[in-house]
Amino acid sequence: MQYETLGKSGVVVSRLCLGTMMFGAQGNPDHDDSVRIIHTAFDAGINFVDSADVYSYGESEEILGKALKGRRDDIVVATKLHHPMSDEVLNQRGSSRSWIPRACEDSLRRLGTDYIDLYQVHRPDPLTDIDDTLGALSDLVHQGKVRMIGCCTFPPSDIVDAWHVAERRGHVHFSSNQPPYSLFVRGIEREVLPVCRRLGMGVISWSPLNSGWLTGRMRRGVEAPSSPRMAIPMNRARDETESGFGQPRLPYPAMLIDDSFPPFARKFDAVEELLTLSAESGISMIDLALGFVLAHPALTSAIIGPRTMDQLTTQLGGTDTPLPADVLDRLDAIVPPGTDVLPGEGGYQLREFTEASRRRR
């Protein structure tokens, strides 16, 4: 396992981060099996784990808490807040000063710990002033309940705005950003990654396998394997575009094997080219995908999100061998730098461009 410092925090983390979204009712409901998977990752050298309160509505954090017993001091624990934790209580969501302290206490209880190493805002909150968000998070740092704070899937303008507000108001700065990044989702190479480098922020990428597309299992004319990651919405009865709290999930299950939608057709074509490259280079599709992400100088860690032990073991070698320059060049030829193959998969869309009413203000 290889390690890297998280931005300018001085905290050293493994280049593979264990994501826990698939532990609990949303993925693997077997707590004992999930704990075994987590322990196997720790034994392999992973010292960085990422969760969120909304993953199976707290169950993922509870499972992680069980796995951390006796090993807490060795692991850098990251979790997140923001998405609704109740369909009935309106203020159990977002990034407000009223919700952040309670959300933190709830996560601490579920994790069975008295501090969180990295506490992240899961998405930008257009309804809350970033000054209030940073102020509440800074209070948690000063109280010793949180060691570092971070953001997740923030556009570059919000990252810079948060940095300036923290500088001006004396708040704690974000130490990291967690955007989606993969060979099929390269839009963040244009601004997000350069901005994070300039500000000294670590970058923890989610979905480096693009929800399974970069494993080689998704092919034209082949029935797509079932995946809880695609079939189960993160939040219950909530239209994210109406609420302003996030972005809509793409209707993957119905479209995975339908290449009449041009961006999906491009994905199918790219998968075939990648399979050819994999065979010619002797590098597995998974190692190509992980190696590509980790080759970017702004990247600290790539989050792997296994549901089973087999899925974990096939991804653990992702940092073993850096990709040769000629292989990286061929990957650039398949998907040009700065390109999102499927529009909207970059994790955010500026609301001024997706809501007509905002364009006319």
Question: DSSP 3-state assignment of 106?
Answer: helix
What is 340-361 written as a DSSP string? BSSTTTTS---HHHH-HHHHT-
**Alpha-helical runs (H) found in the chain:** 31-43, 59-68, 100-111, 130-142, 156-169, 192-198, 228-231, 240-243, 252-255, 262-281, 285-294, 309-315, 325-334, 351-354, 356-359
Q: How far is CA 334 from the centre of its chain?
A: 24
Give the C-alpha separation, 252 to 64, whole Å.
Answer: 28
Cβ atoms 10, 178 nearer than 8 A? no
Say how many C-beta atoms besides its own lie within 10 A of residue 48's C-beta: 27
> What is the spatial distance between Cα 119 and Cα 78, in angstroms, rounded to a whole number?
6
Catalytic residue among 3, 55, 119, 348: 55
CA–CA distances in Å: residue 341 to residues 177, 186, 210, 266, 301: 22, 8, 11, 7, 22
Span between the terminal Cα atoms of the chain, in Å: 51
- Alpha-carbon distance 65 to 109, whole Å? 9
Amino acid at 190: R
Task: Tell me, yes or no, if 3 is annotated catalytic.
Answer: no
- What is the C-alpha to C-alpha distance for residues 352 and 201, in angstroms, rounded to an integer? 26
Name the residues annotated as catalytic: 55
